[in-house]
Structure 1
């Protein structure tokens, strides 16, 4: 009897051990399958990139969170109706968002390459970029609006608003608007600086020469932004949001402090001496107050240009002032050529082209998040116009 009991126990132990071995073998096989065939974030982004280039509208999904639905509805539609334009932009290795309008119709609204190369996030029409000096036209529009309201004149001397400004009785707002003030300008640092301290530094730097000579300086527009704030009685970002962004319909435009909160933000890149891409440091953009502290999508820039041309945000008289060149074919925030108006912005990691025809029927807007891989956006602009002319 004792021998029979011991035999049964040995048999039961062998069965339990065999079960444990089977379970272990099963788990081991599952682990090997997972390691051999994972679905990585890279795979997901690659699929998403291909879909972004092909789809013209986001696919509808059921049971979405209300916030997700709202974001879908605010998405900017992708357009790719001109194959020659598409091939050209690919051939020059353009990285960013292109928005091209011909005869009042959007023919290209599309992202190229990556907004974030490390995470493989593609550029799309919804991607926001810093626009650098292209924002100067926005500050110029704000000054012209205040002139229309009788709150200032572009012919006022700067000393009217800044009594301690060097040569302020001879330098007018017009000189600031057209980069003919003769000031030396702010010496940019890296950390935060208040608008008041920035203006004080501009004053302390003094003047280089008397007014009238062309000398492009960001500080001209920093002073103008400060005057907008002083006259309107509100921070310049608040004034611009209420009186430029909203009436123009620019829903994705904002100032640098909220850039990091954007769902579709871009990362800027630059080629080093070995032609390798890296992300350059950007100074605290309080250093570029009024002259390079705004972000937006390419579509927002189109809406701004269109609002100017259709006189939605400035009058016909102000439009004429803005686009009448003074020195170096520069008006107020825009260069003026025989066939088009254009602005250009360069920042660490970013290169911006904004151009529209004198007739308002054609727009070429290129927002790139590689600062220096394309030598001349002016030549690119001309080539795009040539393609459109032949289309």
Structure 2
């Protein structure tokens, strides 16, 4: 009898332990799911599983057929999208999204856009300006009281890359843009460079910190809620959004060595966003078509040069000489470049960096020689892409 009671007791204990374990697993799974969803609200928007960016070749129009032949002949590795008067004419991938796995490039492939992300940051800043939440002529200390330097700096100085701050060098001791911004403030202004053009990722990292201070939201959440979602950028995400990992290209150097991205947690606003070329093109087109800002804001932003508001070609993360425009980014073996005007928007992205200039050389050839458009020209002279700034 005692033996039976002992067996029953052990059985009951085992059942209790099993039920408790099951409840723990279920609760933990639910907790992880909620945590993941919470993080996605900050780091990215949830992908639509039924979205698929289809290949568009348009072989009936000779110029696009010739562009396809050119890219195949030159063994281009990456993706290209071409819009003409707002209509997609070509959207195609070439080579491999990942050499090691053999995954092929496609219109859905997302590339680390590097400095091209400054264009998105510029749009965010301009949006806050139009809403009266930011004044580009305000001192930086109005928004970041601790950002004190030897000479006064204004938001416009950061936007135009004329702050003169020492160039930002990422470090393993920093893990967010607040830390990066404080490091930039500590390093201060480089001697002799105050109010002189000095391209510096740090300028847009600081502007990103300003955006967060004004909106009281993480940069990624503000971008997703105000740009990625409303403008249906379905193949756009930040580096740490695992939902989009299957679409993210792996970057390689000229020897096809994998270039593992690092320090991306410091580059919000200046380099840690992945985009498919179609998404970047659509963002440009939405800007051109006054879907983001009204005409009175958009036209000066795109076409004014040598004015008080836009004294030089560079503004809000892109270049303009009036009729022609350029966006560019190079980061960890990946290059994204866009040329656009009132008729054409072309974006080419590559994850095989034969040289830092190769992607732009290919785009320059297509845009000028095949589409017969005038590209953006640095200082009104034909650029040597190898010397072109980001």
Give TM-score scaled by structure 2 length: 0.75
* SS of 1:380 mapped into structure 2: helix
- Residue 356 of structure 1: which of 313, 333, 340 is its match? 340
Provide the C-alpha distance between the structure 1 equivalents of 2:339 and 2:290, rounded to a whole number of angstroms.
17
Matched, 1:222 2:201: no
- Residue 140 of structure 2: which of 158, 163, 169 is its match? 158
1:364-375 to structure 2, matched below 5 A, reads 364-373=346-355, 375=357
Provide the C-alpha distance between the structure 1 equivalents of 2:98 and 2:235, rounded to a whole number of angstroms.
19
Q: CA deviation at 1:280?
A: 1.7
Provide the C-alpha distance between the structure 2 equivalents of 1:288 and 1:86, rounded to a whole number of angstroms.
34
Matched, 1:200 2:182: yes
Structure 1 residue runs without a partner (length 5+): 1-69
Q: Deviations 1:259-301 (Å, cap 9, x if unpaired)?
A: 5743322111101xxxx21102321201222100111111111
Provide the C-alpha distance between the structure 1 equivalents of 2:75 and 2:159, rounded to a whole number of angstroms.
35
Provide the C-alpha distance between the structure 2 equivalents of 1:190 and 1:303, rounded to a whole number of angstroms.
35
Matched, 1:263 2:243: no
* SS of 1:181 mapped into structure 2: coil
Q: Deviations 1:48-101 (Å, cap 9, x if unpaired)?
A: xxxxxxxxxxxxxxxxxxxxxx63x30012111221000111222211111012
Q: Is the contact made by 1:192 and 1:285 (CA closer than 8 Å) also made in structure 2?
A: no
Alignment match, 2:321? 337
Alignment match, 1:108? 90
Give the RMSD, CA atoms, in angstroms: 2.1
- Residue 187 of structure 1: which of 159, 166, 169 is its match? 169
- Residue 243 of structure 1: which of 212, 226, 230 is its match? 226
Matched, 1:136 2:113: no
Matched, 1:286 2:270: no
Q: Is the contact made by 1:340 and 1:355 (CA closer than 8 Å) also made in structure 2?
A: yes
- Residue 288 of structure 2: which of 309, 314, 317 is its match? 309
Give TM-score scaled by structure 1 length: 0.75
Provide the C-alpha distance between the structure 2 equivalents of 1:353 and 1:376, rounded to a whole number of angstroms.
11
Q: Is the contact made by 2:150 and 2:189 (CA closer than 8 Å) also made in structure 1?
A: no
Alignment match, 1:212? 195
Q: Is the contact made by 1:354 and 1:364 (CA closer than 8 Å) also made in structure 2?
A: yes
Residues 277 and 210 (structure 1 numbering): CA distance in 2 closer, same or farther, change over 3 Å? Answer: closer
Alignment match, 2:330? 346
Count of residues in correspondence between the two structures: 314
* SS of 1:289 mapped into structure 2: coil
Q: CA deviation at 1:170?
A: 2.5
Provide the C-alpha distance between the structure 1 equivalents of 2:297 and 2:270, rounded to a whole number of angstroms.
20
Residues 355 and 91 (structure 1 numbering): CA distance in 2 closer, same or farther, change over 3 Å? Answer: same
* SS of 2:371 mapped into structure 1: helix
Provide the C-alpha distance between the structure 2 equivalents of 1:328 and 1:237, rounded to a whole number of angstroms.
29
Q: Is the contact made by 2:110 and 2:275 (CA closer than 8 Å) also made in structure 1?
A: yes
Alignment match, 2:52? 75
Residues 354 and 126 (structure 1 numbering): CA distance in 2 closer, same or farther, change over 3 Å? Answer: same
Provide the C-alpha distance between the structure 2 equivalents of 1:268 and 1:379, rounded to a whole number of angstroms.
18
Alignment match, 2:74? 92
Q: Deviations 1:13-54 (Å, cap 9, x if unpaired)?
A: xxxxxxxxxxxxxxxxxxxxxxxxxxxxxxxxxxxxxxxxxx
Q: Is the contact made by 1:214 and 1:328 (CA closer than 8 Å) also made in structure 2?
A: no
Q: Deviations 1:288-342 (Å, cap 9, x if unpaired)?
A: 2210011111111111111111122223343245334556621221111354211
Provide the C-alpha distance between the structure 2 equivalents of 1:99 and 1:168, rounded to a whole number of angstroms.
46
